Amino acid sequence: MVRIILVRHGQTEWNVTGRYQGQEDTPLSAYGREQGEKLARSLKDIPFDVCLSSPLQRAFITAKLCADLHNLSVEKDERLTEIHHGDWGGRLTEEIESLYADEFKAWHKAPHTVKMPGAGGESLEDVRKRVRPAFDDYAARFSGKTVLVAAHDAVNKVIICDLLGMGIDKFWQVKQDNTCINVLEEQDGKWRLVLLNSTLHMGYLFSTTDQKGL
């Protein structure tokens, strides 16, 4: 069996202001780093063997805070990079809703039908096609081990939907708060969800604040 501890990065200023960041390499805010430190302490006594991360610094630093307490290095995996928002990247939610009204509405009603407009823009299916092989690789490479994986909101939602056979049209039915902990296990080609969106290390069972942007 392979056990994956899948976490989301700590908060950034763009998360708070509702500016779509996608593959923009935004840093953790001071509070985001505090979240990462609390996450790391909560996992200090949980054994894991390998630490993998998106190369974007908000995920990598979150992973490194955890890995440092286990004397592990962090391996970057480009396949874990957040969805590319195309022309939406760097824009505020209100701007996107105004400039791309139809696409924005579809994104919230039928996200699996939307490909982000502009150069490099991805769809959820594009994300699924690069993230699923990564998780299949982890299952093959790390048999019998526990792996910490630090990634992003869209990446986490897509892979959870896909591994459970839910379909990426259920994207918005999965919530991923900053530094949340998910646990997934694979055995004999079958995946199961053990834990979803746990934020107990932050002192609350659930967040009452909806994120404005990805």
Q: Which residues are catalytic?
A: 9, 152
Beta bridge partner(s), residue 53: 76, 150
Residue 132 identity: R
For 11-52, the DSSP string reads P-HHHHHTB--TTS-PPPPHHHHHHHHHHHHHTTTS--SEEE
Helix axes 57-68, 30-42, angle to 10 degrees: 40
The answer to whether the CB of 13 falls within 8 A of the CB of 26 is yes
Residue type (1 letter), 102 = D
Class of residue 18 by CB neighbours under 10 A (exposed 0-12, middle 13-18, buried 19+)? middle
